[in-house]
Chains A and B, each alone.
Chain A
Amino acid sequence: ETGVTQTPRHLVMGMTNKKSLKCEQHLGHNAMYWYKQSAKKPLELMFVYSLEERVENNSVPSRFSPECPNSSHLFLHLHTLQPEDSALYLCASSQGRTSGANVLTFGAGSRLTVL
């Protein structure tokens, strides 16, 4: 496996379910991100972990709960979601801050549908 891997690629869940999205990076990066992409909207940064410590939390509802057990793995735990949470959830990693040439490497995304 190379790059950033996300599972599952597609997820359908009811509003009362609990599920998790998983991300794994094989690049030796020290920062990992969760982004939300809704149709025709800019990417929204949800959470950032640097060296397993959460450094950004952009006013995300508590029904989304991130977990970073080590620098290679990132989870997004989902519970009691709303239909408006249906979106593409993208995981990314970087060597450090996103200033300058420090670019993000993205996974293919997890398409979430909340019924």
Chain B
Amino acid sequence: DQQVKQNSPSLSVQEGRISILNCDYTNSMFDYFLWYKKYPAEGPTFLISISSIKDKNEDGRFTVFLNKSAKHLSLHIVPSQPGDSAVYFCAASTEDSNYQLIWGAGTKLIIKP
């Protein structure tokens, strides 16, 4: 059973508009959530994270929102740019999980010019 789910395999957004990528989780013990971005033929790169004690974290055009009661987090990209076209992975961990990160299956974001 997947503890971290990204239910949208792909998402298409017009350039300049807002992109919203969603992630749901089942384990209420998760302490940290991270988003990674992956371009073809490259490894994933870290984008932004949020601690479970916060409900929002912002870094430039990227904002992550956490709704603990709904066990849901989302990544907002405003405004969307062509270079944002990539696969986005949501991942989660607990404070005592040693080296384990629990990953979602990814959402492919396509930014249309």
Give chain A's interface residues, CB within 8 Å of chain B: 4, 31, 33, 40-43, 45, 48, 50, 55-56, 90, 92, 94, 97-101, 103-109
Contacts and interface: CB of A to CB of B under 8 A. Distances in A.
How many chain B residues sit at the interface, stated as a range, is 20 to 34
A97 B97 CA distance: 8
Interface in B81-102: 89, 91, 93-102
Contacts of B100: 45, 56, 98
A43 B51 CA distance: 21
A97 B106 CA distance: 23
A4 B43 contact: yes
Contacts of B104: 42
B109 interface: no
Nearest to B98: A97
Residue with the highest number of chain A CB atoms closer than 10 Å, among B43, B51, B89, B91: B43
Nearest to A44: B103
A100 to B, nearest CB: 6
A43 B103 contact: yes
Contacts of B89: 42-43
13 contacts: A45-B101, A48-B98, A48-B99, A56-B98, A56-B100, A90-B43, A97-B99, A98-B97, A100-B49, A101-B49, A104-B46, A108-B43, A109-B42
